Amino acid sequence: LFIIGTGLIGKTLLSQIDSQRDYLLEHSGIDIRIAGVANSRYMMFNREGLEISSILNELPNGDTSSVEFFISRMTELNLPNSIFIDNTANAIIPIFYEKILQKNISIVTPNKVAASSSYDRYRSLNLLAKQKNIQFLYETNVGAGLPILSTIKALNDSGDRIQKIEAVLSGSLSFIFNNYDGSTDFSLLVNQAKEKGYTEPDPREDLNGKDVMRKIVILTREAGYPVELDDVVLSSFLPESCFNVDSVEEFFIELSTQDGAMLSLLNVARENNAKLRFIAAMESGKCQVSLHQVSEESPFYGLTSSDNMVVIYTDRYCDNPLVIRGPGAGAQVTAAGVFSDVIYITKTL
């Protein structure tokens, strides 16, 4: 493994690998070695495998970090069964994915940048991995460790056809709407969600729906439909004025002017015995993202906490969909999803 990124996910992955290494060696004959690690400042290598438990302590004694140099060193080492793991949300590192795959090195990443970039790029990276008989895996791009992309892939491979996907893909928006019962002003609830760490430090990044758009684009592509981010129809439940402000403080002031409008939406839903859910939907390749009223029959009605939920309708799962639900964010489950992708690759070797 060659790992870039020692933030929350990267650290957690190192710790999970450290705990599980002996088990995998004994039970599955998988000998995982970490031959290179980098963060934005330092990097270090050991072709025999770094001592995992001391990587984070030793890293500041390493060389000055550079993505280019990290990748050249990785390719020079030319170790069999190499896997590159990009544990960042960085936009630069994905530029190198093509070069890495060209060198017959598989890639595993929670970084959404590549899979949600242009369809051409998405497709060419996937085709390249296929041609090279290696893997380009990004299960954690959607729903963190939940087995969503692998399930869609297995359905496609066995000849099923994905007709429709409906999904709650944002943990923060899930938390906000699952808990919005009118007893607290909407803007105050968003502030509480922020305080509890359910949203980004700037909640606009969650409330603008962009992250959900990227995720439904990835799901749609995995389902076999070419789609671009610009093709997704987003209906924001907030006016532009909320986002066209300079600071988080001003955003909350703007947001509070919408408390009445949000309460009206909630009350209309209640009159219909429905609940509000922020849903990304794909049907026959067309994507929409918007706030919905869902009635008691909907799988989304009973959603609680900050859970994600993906509802998949196919030729074979037509009357009743296949549903996967659970926490779709968090360092432990995201790192575990990255780890599972790595283990899957070891089984294909």
> Which residues of this protein are in contact with a copy of itself, per CB under 8 A?
16, 19-20, 23-24, 27-29, 130, 133, 145-147, 150-151, 154-155, 157-160, 296-297, 299, 301-302, 304-307, 316-317, 319-327, 332-333, 336, 339-340, 343-344, 347-348
From the CB of 129, what's the least distance to a copy of itself, in Å? Answer: 12
Please state the closest distance from residue 85 (CB atom) to a copy of itself, in A: 14
Minimum distance, C-beta of residue 69 to a copy of itself, in the bound complex (Å): 30
303 vs 146: CA distance, rounded Å: 16
Options 99, 112, 196, 215, the catalytic residue? 215
Closer CB to a copy of itself, 155 or 266, in the complex: 155
Task: Write the Ramachandran bin of 104: left for phi over 0, alpha for psi from -120 to 50, otherwise beta.
Answer: left
Residue closer to a copy of itself, measured from CB, 69 or 301: 301
Of the pair 256, 346, the CB lying nearest a copy of itself is at 346
What the block records as the tokens of 293 is 């009223």
Query: Which are the contacts of 130, defined by CB distance < 8 A and separation ≥ 6?
Result: none
**Catalytic residue flag (residue 215):** yes
What count of other Cβ atoms lies within 10 Å of the Cβ of residue 133? Answer: 9
Closest distance to a copy of itself from the beta carbon of 323 (Å)? 4
Give CA 73 to chain center in angstroms: 28
- Judged by beta carbon, residue 195 or residue 297, the one nearer a copy of itself is 297
Least distance between a copy of itself and beta carbon 193 (Å)? 15
Q: How far is CA 157 from the centre of its chain?
A: 22
- Nearer to a copy of itself by C-beta: 25 or 261? 25
Smallest distance from the beta carbon of 319 to a copy of itself, in angstroms? Answer: 7
Cα–Cα distance, 194 to 206 (Å, whole number): 10
Angle at 125 between CA 279 and CA 17, to 5 degrees: 80
- Residue with tokens 């929350």, as numbered in its chain: 8
Structure-token match 């938390």, residue found: 175
62: Cβ contacts below 8 Å, ≥ 6 apart = 38, 42, 43, 44
Strand partners, 282: 165, 287
Cα distance between residue 130 and residue 122, in whole Å: 13
Closest to a copy of itself by CB, 99 vs 130, is 130
Place of tokens 């009973």: 302
Catalytic residues: 215
